Amino acid sequence: MEVTIFEHKAKPRLSDMVHFNFLRKKSFGIDLGNNNTLVSDGQKLLVAQPSCIVLDKVRDTVRAVGADAYDMFEKTHHDLKHVKPLRGGVIADYSSATKMIAGMIQKACGNKSFLDRYENIITGVPYNTTNVERRALKATFEQFNAANVHLVFEPIAAAIGMDLDIAQPEGHMVVDIGGGITEIAVISLSGIACFQSLKVSGDAMDEEIQHYFRRTYNMAIGLRTAEQVKVNVGSVLEESKTTRSMIVRGKDLLRGIPVTRQTDNREIAAVLEKSVSAIELGIVQTLEKCPPELAGDIYNSGIYLTGGNAMLNGLKERFERKFHLPIHIDDNCLTSVSKGLAKAVANPKKYKPVLVD
């Protein structure tokens, strides 16, 4: 497969490459997610690609970024290293993250923009990050020669992206079930009044599916296959009347040969039960902590779900039954945070109260 990607030495110093201050200034919103990175300007989404990178250890270069790197996941040889630079919603590998962001920005605006300076870079950050983690995230983006780098808490960005009027004295509950972290927040007056974050999220569900096949059928499957199983036949309703099935490919652990096995939505619903129950418990605990006036607002407005895993089959039905509240799932779960950041990029004055320094 042909991989068209810039090649540069490891440990790039982007600021060293950007000398031309007279060039056009751009502003970006960057949702640096555990699984997906989305880059937008004030108007439109420019890039949405998996948050991963493949490094060539021998040549000390970047081999692929984003979708191309995702295609190589679990298929690399010894000279190549596949890295997901974020874990649990925060950067775990700063060097790889910097190279990945550089690649994403290049994809967003073409090679020439490497010479550009940037006006504002606004990026999302999980709420339960420490000051040190936030400073490190800011420093990572400051390398890109931006005049200003601002952070916005991701549940707030998601709420803005879902067109909720968060500036009012009114409670809105947002649940973002992402790839590395689930964030549950009650937002009022442009701030977070109650919050809980859980490690239970998309990656944890994929691992549950992987372990299940190993335990139950002595069958090893890759994480990418586990994710496909979740996306294609994943469900949160064990008693579902309809059946959706798929063939799963993997390796028999006893005989060492490639095998296939059929699975369906009911079987996977049982596997995901533990994760979904943990998210439900997190929502209950957050509602318990919520002051009564805000709880009253949520009684009327309900719960707003976003993040890729909010698309799990049956989630709306299950949560309506469990919480007796209106459940809204964003039509574009994967882009809510990015849309919110894009709005802040377009109008930084209006969204100043939500920018974290």
Ligand X SMILES: Nc1ncnc2c1ncn2[C@@H]1O[C@H](COP(=O)(O)OP(=O)(O)OP(=O)(O)O)[C@@H](O)[C@H]1O
Distance, CA of 124 to CA of 32 (rounded, Å):
7
**308: contact with Mg ion by CB under 5 A:** no
**178: contact with Mg ion by CB under 5 A:** yes
Cβ proximity to ligand X, 124 vs 250, nearer residue: 124
Name the minimum Å distance from CB 306 to Mg ion. Answer: 8
- 59 phi, psi to nearest 5 deg: -85, -10
Name the minimum Å distance from CB 116 to ligand X. Answer: 26
> Cβ-count burial of 269 within 10 angstroms (0-12 exposed, 13-18 middle, 19+ buried)?
buried
**5: contact with ligand X by CB under 6 A:** no
Q: Kindly write out the interface string for residues 188-227 of this chain, putting x where it contacts ligand X by CB under 6 A and - elsewhere.
A: -------------xx------------------------x
**Which listed range, 68-76, 175-183, 203-211, 230-238, lies at the site for Mg ion (CB under 5 A)?**
175-183
Residues 101-130 that bind ligand X (CB under 6 A): none
Beta bridge partners of 31: 38
Cβ proximity to Mg ion, 40 vs 265, nearer residue: 40
Exactly one of 236, 334, 342, 345 binds ligand X (CB under 6 A); that residue is 334
Distances (CA, A) of 241 to 4, 233, 235, 244, 314: 46, 13, 12, 10, 11
Cβ proximity to ligand X, 8 vs 266, nearer residue: 266
Cβ proximity to ligand X, 68 vs 206, nearer residue: 206
**98: contact with ligand X by CB under 6 A:** no
Exactly one of 155, 179, 250, 340 binds ligand X (CB under 6 A); that residue is 179
**181: contact with ligand X by CB under 6 A:** yes
**33: contact with Mg ion by CB under 5 A:** yes
Identify what 309 binds: ligand X, Mg ion, none; CB under 5 to 8 Å per kind: ligand X
**311: contact with ligand X by CB under 6 A:** yes
Q: Give how far the C-alpha of residue 11 lies from the chain's centroid of Cα atoms, to the nearest Å.
A: 25
**340: contact with Mg ion by CB under 5 A:** no
**308: contact with ligand X by CB under 6 A:** yes
Q: Using CB under 5 A as the criterion, which residues of the chain lie in contact with Mg ion when the complex forms?
A: 33, 178
What residues make contact with ligand X under the rule CB under 6 A? 33-36, 89, 178-181, 201-202, 227, 230-231, 234, 307-309, 311-312, 334
